[in-house]
Structure 1
């Protein structure tokens, strides 16, 4: 994993520097408070995965004008907006190892800052002069909102099915990553075949990325996560490791697990016992295999592209999505 991460960083260091500059220069709010709230999250150590994916989806199609840097920040602003909103909705305490924005500023101000970032994303999308990019951004915001509402409605339900879980993570995570990749093809005026291939890559990468993220909630430490483990369960969110384990559990184990899920008071010792049960019942291994399958499909989607540095990087990012520790 360290080798993969090192290779990625070596390849993208110049791009990351330009992305950081573009994020700062294009934030440009009229109010200093908005800048402070937005910067609190935007410049707190995010991976910039989504901008990098758009940049190299464009370059794999032969587009390398420099404008791909500017257009790529659309997807970081969108991502940051959803995180600001999500943390308010979930009453989360931490994000990226720092206090969540709404613990430092009033929640209404944080929500409105998220709205501002959405507006900035659309404003930059308009600069592409590609109506289909604007359509992609609009569809992303619609799908992600629906995903959040769907997850909120199903909060605390111990009978959440695997199919319902997959629909939620597609809307919450995969559509944004898919949109970043697809938009790279659109600004490149690539063929429909290449656009569909990059959209497929982004979809499968997004699904793998979220499954791996859900695994980390049960396998990583607080220091690695930048927030407390077990956050999903605290917030009443059932993810694939738990859903699969519940489906495989006998009556006694299932009842015990459901009681832990339903308990409004989070017990760290019981959570540790639950994690062991997820390994025993195969929920952890099953989620790992599902994520690996999506990575295989993501990489296969790039088969029609000629070998290039960007293609190599997209392969590396796919591998890293399930090998990362944070």
Structure 2
């Protein structure tokens, strides 16, 4: 089913993807060539362009078919790329999308400043919409995502992280950007508040499901599938929902063993395989899958009052794909 979903989505997205790629290239025109080289290293390394596509189809679902959708949709890819550049520096990541992380090729300072440039570029394009509400959405996204990353960093290694704290972190670090893309599409289309709120909630639940699925992939996918080494969250001391649920339900001996494994250095691949067995045994994987599916169901319900069209079908398929994808 996943392969079929991916093929259907690829076919539906194809006409817009080429235009998005062109717009990303044309808008990326810094005065310093090095900035373009660093930004391009990540931007054009195989991203799905999910966030631009969500904005475009949200706008179309609300009746807007203006060609400016494509240019304005790049706001969300630049924002996403900026956060990835910053995150990889903070996390000291080695690989991103199957390539060396940018700070492994250039200095961390240059990469951080390139991320800053992409944030500024997204705000510049947002201003061109001449929609104050879209500018407010982008400002809120940058504020919330920064707070989410700081909160996650502050709680790094905290083995008592609650499910509620986890949910708040992933809302800020992931869901708000996807939510903002959908909401901005409705604003661009000058939709009514009811439609705007419905798409905003769709984006929220999609974002939550998407991040939970990402957190699962860290324990269920291979390095080749991920484009980076699995177990990164565990190595970095980040507690995600599969871990949180398993620790909460483990017997004392297993809980102690799991806590020691999380804290252990250096990372032991053989120990990681045993660790994954614990996550399955204590239903951390299953519980996270069910929570993600619940968000997908809520996301699709938000589209119930919209007329049936290609864009509605696309958004429903994206919701299904968010938890069935392998990467």
Give the TM-score normalised by structure 2. 0.99
* Structure-1 separation of matches of 2:141 and 2:104: 27
Report how far residue 262 of structure 1 moved. Answer: 1.2
Superposition map of 1:1-326 within 5 A: 1-326=2-327
For 1:284 and 1:39, locate their aligned partners in 2 and report how far apart those are by CA, in whole Å: 35
1:32 CA drift (Å): 0.7
Q: Where in structure 1 are there 5+ consecutive unaligned residues?
A: none
Matched residues in 2 for 1:3 and 1:263: separation? 41
Cα distance, 1:144 vs. partner? 0.2
CA displacement, residues 269-298 of structure 1 (integer Å, 9 cap, x when unaligned): 111000011001000000000000000000
Residues in 2 aligned to 1:150 and 1:47: alpha-carbon distance in whole angstroms: 27
Deviations 1:21-46 (A, max 9, x none): 00000011111100000000000000
The separation in 2 between residues aligned to 1:136 and 1:264, in whole angstroms, is 41
| TM-score (ref. length: structure 1) | 1.00
Give aligned pairs, total. 326
Matches of 1:293 and 1:145, distance apart in 2: 27
For the residue of structure 2 that corresponds to 1:303, the secondary structure is coil
For residues 110 and 263 of structure 2, what CA distance do their matches in structure 1 show?
A: 32
Instruction: Could you list the structure 1 runs, at least 4 aligned residues long, displaced by more than 3 angstroms after superposition.
Output: none
Shift of 1:167: 0.4
* Structure 1 residue 155 displacement after superposition: 0.3
The whole-number CA distance in structure 1 between the counterparts of 2:307 and 2:92 is 46
Q: CA deviation at 1:150?
A: 0.2
CA distance in 1, matches of 2:285, 2:10: 28
CA shift, 1:263, in A, is 1.1
